[in-house]
Amino acid sequence: METIRMVDLKGQYDKIQEEVDTAVIDVIRSTQYINGSEVKNFQKDFEEYLGVKHVIPCANGTDALQVAMMGLGLKPGDEVITTSFTFVATVEVIALLGLTPVLVDVLPDTYNIDPESVKKAITPKTKAIVPVHLFGQCVDMKPLLELARQHNLHIIEDNAQAIGADYIFEDGNRQKAGTIGDVGCTSFFPSKNLGCYGDGGAVFTNDDELAQKLRVIVNHGMQERYYHDSVGVNSRLDSIQAAILRVKLRRLDEYCAARRIAADFYDHAFKDHPRISTPARSEFSTHVFHQYTLKIKGLDQFELQNFLKEKGVPAMIYYPVPMHMQKAYKSERYKEGDFPVTEMLSKSVISLPMHTELDEEQLSYITSSVLEYMDKDK
């Protein structure tokens, strides 16, 4: 059996090596390393894939979030509502810009932000909501869009984990995750579903005016060369990374399908187990399984992780400490116990290997190892 990896970037690369190598060497030979034609080409390809008017490539997913908040003109003191059960970047940029992060709880089945909690957290200072499409599945956007309309709020989608997922409206219409709110943000970190071979990110929007602002912000606040009308940042996607992303974008749907096959295998193996809850699948979203995350009952998730490690099965705990309990983001606003679902999840989730190269032999070894532990005192 091939060594089991949490993410198998080498196996994936082997299958596209010739195309990637040629694309990279072409960029090197072109010497257009910064904002070269491949960046523009990728931007166009990605706009088409997402069905969105504007993609603004940038240096990473964290920058994408920051730039989006700057573009919307959020000001120090403005409150931004997001979830406590996320990767730190979401909360970090809010704090970094002097905005006030207002954290709320998530739903126990999807691990995604709870619209009822969002509603309760809205104050006159609230300016934006940041739904995070966690682990590859869309947040229920309908109630959030309704709240945003009622209270005149911006919606910034953190779509670092659900690129390629479809949000399904009640009338059956579909739209790509990240293109539903005012602005969407994503990351091309190597292990993401659409990962490059270094850092990368992008912001996307259908709003022409906002897109123009975002393009200026990522380029030092500069529209005309050496004239700076606003404070910006330097956040660019490398031409080499753009060339790699073009090759991988053509296969993104195929990659999502491979992840879904692995997820189906896991689902089937753990179905009806009294101590294991498999990830819920919402009717309003497809799932692209950035992570396959179980909830376990009655046993310790870290002990399971150690047991699996000894059997050669990597597993990760995303996320062991919720944001409202992190030293950097502690606040008078909340204390331990305030977000019971988030806190329960941080004590019971475990993510299994998930990538595009898992074969049946590996999957059945992983599932039988998990079951061996979960049934150990039967």
Ligand X SMILES: *Cc1c(COP(=O)(O)O)cnc(C)c1O
Binding site for ligand X (CB under 6 A): 60-62, 86-87, 89-90, 132, 158, 160-161, 187, 189, 199, 201
- Compute the distance between CA of residue 112 and CA of residue 115 in angstroms, rounded to an integer: 9
Question: Minimum distance between the CB of residue 159 and ligand X, rounded to whole angstroms?
Answer: 8
- Compute the distance between CA of residue 62 and CA of residue 185 in angstroms, rounded to an integer: 9
Question: Minimum distance between the CB of residue 345 and ligand X, rounded to whole angstroms?
Answer: 15
Q: Which is nearer to ligand X, 161 or 205 (CB)?
A: 161
Burial of 119 (0-12, 13-18, 19+ CB in 10 A): middle
Question: Minimum distance between the CB of residue 43 and ligand X, rounded to whole angstroms?
Answer: 17
Distant-in-sequence, close-in-space partners of 48: CB < 8 Å, separation ≥ 6: none
- Compute the distance between CA of residue 207 and CA of residue 360 in angstroms, rounded to an integer: 45
Q: Which is nearer to ligand X, 66 or 239 (CB)?
A: 66
Q: Which is nearer to ligand X, 160 or 242 (CB)?
A: 160
Question: Minimum distance between the CB of residue 68 and ligand X, rounded to whole angstroms?
Answer: 11
Burial of 18 (0-12, 13-18, 19+ CB in 10 A): exposed
Q: Which is nearer to ligand X, 140 or 158 (CB)?
A: 158
C-alpha to C-alpha distances, 214 to 57, 73, 77, 204, nearest whole angstrom = 10, 11, 21, 9
Question: Minimum distance between the CB of residue 113 and ligand X, rounded to whole angstroms?
Answer: 12
Neighbour order of strands in the sheet with 292-296:
276-277, 292-296, 349-352
Question: Minimum distance between the CB of residue 194 and ligand X, rounded to whole angstroms?
Answer: 11
Q: Residue 60: what are its φ and ψ, rounded to 5°? A: -170, 175
Q: Which is nearer to ligand X, 232 or 270 (CB)?
A: 232
- Compute the distance between CA of residue 270 and CA of residue 267 in angstroms, rounded to an integer: 5
State CA 186 to chain mean position distance: 7
Partners of 296 in beta bridges: 276
Q: Which is nearer to ligand X, 237 or 370 (CB)?
A: 237
Q: Which is nearer to ligand X, 270 or 322 (CB)?
A: 322
Question: Minimum distance between the CB of residue 171 and ligand X, rounded to whole angstroms?
Answer: 29
- Compute the distance between CA of residue 298 and CA of residue 351 in angstroms, rounded to an integer: 17
Question: Minimum distance between the CB of residue 75 and ligand X, rounded to whole angstroms?
Answer: 22
The SS3 call for residue 274 is coil
Q: Which is nearer to ligand X, 63 or 79 (CB)?
A: 63
Q: Which is nearer to ligand X, 87 or 307 (CB)?
A: 87
Query: Cβ-closest residue to ligand X?
Result: 61
Question: Minimum distance between the CB of residue 324 and ligand X, rounded to whole angstroms?
Answer: 16
Burial of 360 (0-12, 13-18, 19+ CB in 10 A): exposed
The SS3 call for residue 183 is strand
- Answer for the pair 305, 317: CB distance below 8 angstroms, yes or no: yes
